[in-house]
Structure 1
Amino acid sequence: MTRLEKLYTEKVAPELAKEFGYKSPMEIPKIKAIYLNIGLGEASQNHKLIEDAHEELTLIAGQKSLVTRAKKSIAAFKLREGMPIGCRVSLRRERMWDFLDKLVNFALPRVRDFQGIPDRGFDGRGNFTLGIKDHTIFPEITVDRVEKVKGMNVTIVTTAGSDKEGKVLLSLLGMPFKK
């Protein structure tokens, strides 16, 4: 059991049950999965970019990433069907908890002039999406070896029924939202 998962079971879940008045432990919101995505439009011109992004996302996630390919050809973007355009990873169970712990406690505090995360990223069902502009904030990435700084999307999928429940869950787990 990871450190953050232990915190969830011992402190966060009972506090959520008390605050929202859940009668059954199955009603208490929990995190189901975390999805990481790097989209690289320039990868159609430069294949080394996609290889670097694939390796770096694999290092960040601790799990092999999947290269995503174009579904349709778009002449204006010089894109053909089947060309690599990004990479993604789906994290669950222990790797999910490890990544969330690393994101909250190590990566986000390394962001320059960090003021907190805006809470606009909720989708209405308790899921949260966060855009990261610089992937070098993660400790696994050696800045000297990075050719191009890449951005990434982090989507945290919860079982919460509303944005309020999802925000309280993530706040109790240490997500630094703006006040």
Structure 2
Amino acid sequence: MNPMNEVQISKATVSIGVGEAGEKLSRAITLLEQMFDQTPVKTFSKVTNPEFGIRKRQPIACKLTLRGEKADKAIEMVLEGINKNIKPTQFDAQGNLSFGIKEHIDIPGMKYNPDIGIFGMNVSVTFEKPGYRIAKRRIQQKKVPAKHRISKEETMKYMEDNFNVNYVTE
């Protein structure tokens, strides 16, 4: 197979949305630091929503971007929490994968800590092929050709081969 056509993981993004600033957000940040040994960043609200008590530019969530070997380990760990069951609808047309975990204690090795509590999290995995840099570089930036883009089927095959994922239909 052509090495330029091999699908690889670009990054994995893990986020926890708590909806409010303060103690709850700091506990979510502590949880992500403990799980992935990396400092997360806070994300801020874009609009004011008085129904939820959210003001514009108020910190309401935290996220973490993992790349390389850390991303592979994190994906493997998080997939164990959902028994490696993924729905085909969780892949988008560009071949990216997004799924959620209701409680972080479902992940093997994670124990309940009363100081932190229980949080759910969203995981987004972005895939790419070698050569995707042409869309990101500053000089002579170009679009990725249609025949070089990743399809949903290619990503599903990659996940099945490398992470032994089961596809469920519900």
TM-score interval, normalised by the smaller of the two chains:
0.7 to 0.9
Alpha-carbon separation, structure 1, partners of 2:156 and 2:115: 33
> Structure 1 residue 26: deviation in Å?
1.1
**2:9–2:68 Cα contact (<8 Å) kept:** no
2:35 to 60, 83, 94: 60
1:74 to 49, 56, 67: 49
> Structure 1 residue 147: deviation in Å?
5.2
> Structure 1 residue 140: deviation in Å?
5.4
Which residue number corresponds to residue 130 of structure 1? Answer: 99
Percentage of identical aligned residues: 24
Structure 2: segments with no counterpart, 5+ residues: 129-148
> Structure 1 residue 137: deviation in Å?
2.1
Which residue number corresponds to residue 87 of structure 2? Answer: 118
Matched, 1:149 2:118: yes
Closer, same or farther: CA 146–122 of 1 in aligned 2, 3 Å: farther
Which residue number corresponds to residue 12 of structure 1? Answer: none
Alpha-carbon RMSD across the aligned residues, in angstroms, is 2.0
> Structure 1 residue 139: deviation in Å?
4.3
Alpha-carbon separation, structure 2, partners of 1:141 and 1:48: 21
Structure 1: segments with no counterpart, 5+ residues: 1-16, 18-23
Which residue number corresponds to residue 167 of structure 1? Answer: 156
Alpha-carbon separation, structure 2, partners of 1:139 and 1:146: 19
2:82 to 108, 111, 134: 108
Which residue number corresponds to residue 138 of structure 2? Answer: none
> Structure 1 residue 61: deviation in Å?
2.2
**1:58–1:64 Cα contact (<8 Å) kept:** yes
Aligned residues: 148
- SS of the residue corresponding to residue 76 of structure 1 reads coil
Letter in 1 for 2:34: L
TM-score by length of 2: 0.77
Which residue number corresponds to residue 176 of structure 1? Answer: 166
After superposition, the C-alpha distances for 1:45-91 in whole angstroms (9 at most, x for unaligned) are xx211011011012222211111111222222211122221100000
Which residue number corresponds to residue 31 of structure 1? Answer: 9
